[in-house]
């Protein structure tokens, strides 16, 4: 088998080792690196045949699978922007994104009709040669994000004009520094939708490292563990909600899977409760690599397993090429330990929201970008998150961070999921309300949960309202939309019994 460890990226690896396994799809179908490159080249030629040139936009309304991988790698070698669109969105929401990004070609998956879209990558590949396209140049993925408010906007970066392989050595070095990922033999498990930035990026990273992609057919706790066992998965990208759900499996079920192949499980997307992360590392070993950033800022902070175990709760220090500051409401830089707005500065170059210079400028303070979160740095420069600025609860003039209350409640065995929100109160400004999804078969009472919080949180942080729900809506990346839950709560006006101090 050829040594691919020094080859810069997917395209050259595929030419050197065409028989190497590239993708094991959700239905079990296996595609080799050579087969994948042939289809990627055909689609690249097909896009060129439709008149697309450098800087044009292609959109994919696609579920996880081979077509999504092909579109990523095909646009990535002919200088196009690729927009992965959440296929769960409404027709109107999809139409807005397609119009805003000026997509010249749209590819849609089966069962998700989109006006004017091609039915999969095969429609672009038909009749096209498998040879490399001429004048290869790096493209870019343009993810759409709402940020903290407003309509979603495309996060656009300038195209380099260089060949696709030019940036791979720097990316490979960066992944080694941050996640201990290395080129060579490895198997990456895709557990989350590739229309989100982190799962999508890790899909491309895996192929550039020469790893095999195993695509899970959605997230199922036992199913994911079985895939790790069967395919000897070495690395994956997950979110804290997944950890929580896997920990809820019966002990006998958890022990039935061999997870010893795991070397790196990256997680991001939402704050991970300390107790949850410790429990997973007790189970899997020290394999959890955490990073914090955003679609706009990419990976800005990272922490390796042993670092985190020395400082539980941190999301790490700035990664190579990044600087960080914590600023107060008047723009003053705050000392270690004092929470404020997080600002980061990247050496990777600035982004822009497509067609929205005002929104771009609003998130910047000079060269510094604010992801919208509140946190503090310790004396050694490690970042600890408090919460989103938009989710902060101010009760009686005191700041309360919902994520902290949620993490404490999730330690109770009868709580499967929880969202903490602030609801208006004439006297206090806001009261803390906990929307609780009980664990299967459990019926916790408000009094029981308050007793649980007693030794964990100061009394002023305790929820004054508990409401029990069958399920709480989360995005596939594990995020709760507290603003949406708050709106629904206030519309319904159906809280559970008030408990605790008035």
Domain boundary among 131, 157, 184: 184
Rounded to the nearest angstrom, the gap between the alpha carbon of residue 287 and the centroid of all alpha carbons in its chain is 18
Phi, psi of 127 (to 5 degrees): 75, 5
Q: What would the 3-class secondary structure string for 405-465 be?
A: HHHHHHCCCCEEEEEEEEEEECCCEEEEEEEEEECCCCCCCHHHHHHHHCCCCCHHHCCCE
Phi, psi (5° rounding) for residue 342? -85, 130
Tokens (6 digits) for 296: 């706009």
CA distance 255 to 277: 18
* Domain annotation covers residue 332: no
Q: Give me the sheet containing 21-24, strands edge to edge.
A: 30-32, 21-24, 212-215, 187-190, 235-238, 264-267, 288-294, 298-303, 317-318
Q: Are 177 and 318 in contact (CB under 8 A)?
A: no
CA distance linking residue 62 with residue 120, whole number of Å: 8
Does a structural domain hold residue 211? no
In a domain, residue 441? The reply is yes
In a domain, 317, yes or no: no
Maximum C-alpha span of the chain:
72
Please give the residue range of the domain that contains residue 170.
1-22+33-184
pLDDT value for 500: 41
Within-domain flag for 381: no
Strands 352-353 and 373-377: unpaired
Question: What 3-state class would DSSP assign to 167?
Answer: helix
What CATH number corresponds to the domain at position 152?
A: 3.40.50.980
325: which 2 tokens?
A: 């500051």
Residues of the chain by 3-state class (helix, strand, coil), percent to 5: 30, 25, 40
The structure tokens 């806001």 sit at: 430
Q: What is the reported pLDDT for 478? A: 67
241 within domain boundaries: no
pLDDT tens-place values along the chain, 502 residues long: 678 888 889 999 999 999 999 999 999 999 999 999 999 999 999 999 999 999 999 999 999 999 999 999 999 999 999 999 988 888 888 999 999 999 999 999 988 889 999 999 999 999 999 999 999 999 999 999 864 445 788 999 999 999 999 999 999 999 999 999 999 999 999 999 999 889 999 999 999 999 999 999 988 999 999 999 999 999 999 988 789 889 989 999 999 999 999 999 999 866 788 988 999 999 999 999 999 888 887 889 999 999 999 999 999 999 998 999 999 988 899 999 999 999 999 876 678 888 888 887 777 788 888 888 889 999 999 999 887 767 778 776 677 878 889 989 999 999 999 999 888 876 677 889 999 999 999 999 999 999 999 988 878 889 999 999 998 887 666 677 777 788 788 877 644 444 443 3
Question: Which of 153, 184, 215 lies at the terminal end of a domain, its last residue?
Answer: 184
Are 454 and 422 within 8 A, CB to CB? no
CATH number at residue 404: 3.30.300.30
Residue 385: strand, helix, or coil: strand
How is the beta sheet containing 144-145 ordered, strand by strand?
144-145, 153-156, 352-353
How high is the pLDDT of residue 149? 44
Mode of pairing for the β-strands spanning 322-327 and 340-346: antiparallel
Query: Is residue 81 in some structural domain?
Result: yes
User: Which pLDDT belongs to residue 359?
Assistant: 80
Long-range residue pairs from 281-290, CB within 8 A, at least 24 positions apart, any chain: 281/305, 281/309, 283/247, 283/254, 283/259, 284/259, 287/262, 287/263, 289/178, 289/179, 289/180, 289/264, 289/265, 290/266, 290/315, 290/316
- Which one of 166, 184, 202 terminates a domain? 184
Question: Do 254 and 226 form a contact (C-beta atoms < 8 A)?
Answer: no
Its pTM stands at 0.82
- Count of structural domains, the chain: 2
- Distance, CA of 120 to CA of 111 (rounded, Å): 11
Q: Residue 352 class from Cβ within 10 Å (0-12 exposed, 13-18 middle, 19+ buried)?
A: middle
Residues 388/374, Cβ–Cβ less than 8 Å: yes
Instruction: For residue 405, tell me if it sits in a domain.
Output: yes
């Amino acid at each position: 088998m050829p040594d691919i460890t020094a080859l810069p990226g997917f395209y050259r690896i595929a030419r050197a080792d065409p028989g190497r396994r590239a993708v094991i799809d959700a239905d079990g179908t296996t595609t080799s690196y050579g087969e994948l490159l042939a289809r990627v080249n055909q689609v690249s030629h097909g896009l060129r045949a439709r008149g697309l040139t450098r800087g044009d936009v292609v959109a994919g309304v696609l579920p996880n699978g081979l077509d999504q991988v092909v579109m990523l790698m095909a646009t990535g070698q002919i200088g196009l922007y690729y927009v992965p669109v959440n296929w769960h969105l409404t027709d109107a929401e999809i139409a807005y994104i397609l119009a805003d990004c000026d997509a010249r070609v749209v590819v849609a998956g089966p069962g998700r009709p989109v006006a004017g879209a091609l039915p999969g990558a095969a429609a672009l590949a038909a009749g096209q040669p498998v040879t490399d396209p001429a004048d290869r140049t790096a493209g870019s993925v343009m993810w759409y994000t709402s940020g903290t408010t407003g309509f979603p906007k495309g996060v656009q970066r300038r195209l380099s004009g260089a060949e696709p392989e030019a940036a791979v050595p720097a990316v490979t070095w960066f992944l080694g520094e941050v996640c201990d990922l290395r080129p060579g033999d490895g198997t990456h498990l895709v557990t989350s939708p590739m229309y989100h930035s982190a799962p999508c990026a890790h899909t491309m990273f895996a192929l550039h490292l020469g790893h095999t992609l195993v695509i899970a057919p959605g997230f199922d706790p036992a199913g994911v563990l079985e895939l790790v066992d069967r395919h000897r998965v070495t690395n994956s990208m997950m979110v804290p909600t997944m950890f929580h759900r896997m920990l809820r499996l019966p002990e006998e079920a958890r022990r039935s899977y061999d997870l010893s192949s795991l070397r790196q499980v990256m997680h991001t997307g939402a704050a991970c409760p300390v107790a949850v992360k410790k429990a997973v590392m007790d189970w899997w070993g020290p394999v959890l690599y955490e990073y914090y950033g955003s679609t706009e800022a990419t990976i800005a902070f990272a922490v390796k397993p042993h670092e985190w175990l020395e400082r539980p709760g941190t999301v790490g220090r700035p990664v190579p090429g990044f600087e960080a500051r914590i600023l107060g409401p008047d723009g003053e830089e705050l000392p270690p330990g004092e929470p404020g707005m997080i600002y980061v500065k990247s050496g990777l170059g600035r982004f822009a929201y497509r067609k929205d210079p005002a929104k771009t400028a609003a998130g910047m303070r000079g060269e510094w970008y604010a992801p919208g979160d509140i946190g503090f740095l310790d004396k050694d420069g490690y970042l600890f998150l408090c919460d989103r600025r938009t989710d902060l609860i101010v009760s009686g003039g005191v700041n309360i961070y919902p994520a902290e209350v949620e993490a404490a409640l999730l330690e109770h065995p009868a709580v499967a999921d929880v969202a903490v929100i602030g609801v208006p109160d004439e006297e206090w400004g806001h009261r803390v309300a906990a929307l609780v999804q009980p664990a299967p078969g459990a019926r916790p009472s408000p009094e029981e949960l308050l007793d649980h919080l007693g030794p964990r949180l100061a009394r002023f942080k305790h929820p004054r309202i508990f409401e029990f729900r069958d399920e709480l809506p989360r995005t596939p990346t594990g995020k709760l939309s507290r603003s949406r839950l708050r709106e629904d709560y206030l519309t319904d006006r159906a809280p559970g019994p008030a408990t605790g101090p008035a």
